[in-house]
Structure 1
């Protein structure tokens, strides 16, 4: 996946449509990489990590690439 991430993402979008998950807001390198790959960084979401940690939703669909 890391050699050709866009091709890999395109291949799985056909099966799943919207791809989404959550990540720590402090992981700035990952945020920039996800933006580069066409992901949208969304709102703060609850229920992830330790109490007090801030996580953000990220998502990508064929229409926002």
Structure 2
């Protein structure tokens, strides 16, 4: 099975967590928002991994290349 990933992208007042959820491919993800307790349960139930800062930087660089029109 492909490893699910969660990347926290923000926190909102009231205890809400904004995050991207993907299965193995950082380019294919859904943006989600859940209350903190539901986010914690979601992560446990899906046995997610959290990408390292280096991995996030690499993903961001790849996304930026696509935005700029280069490969």
TM-score normalised by the chain length of structure 1: 0.26
TM-score normalised by the chain length of structure 2: 0.25
Give the number of the structure with larger relative contact order, counting CA–CA contacts within 8 Å between residues 6 or more apart: 1
Q: More strand per residue: 1 or 2?
A: 2
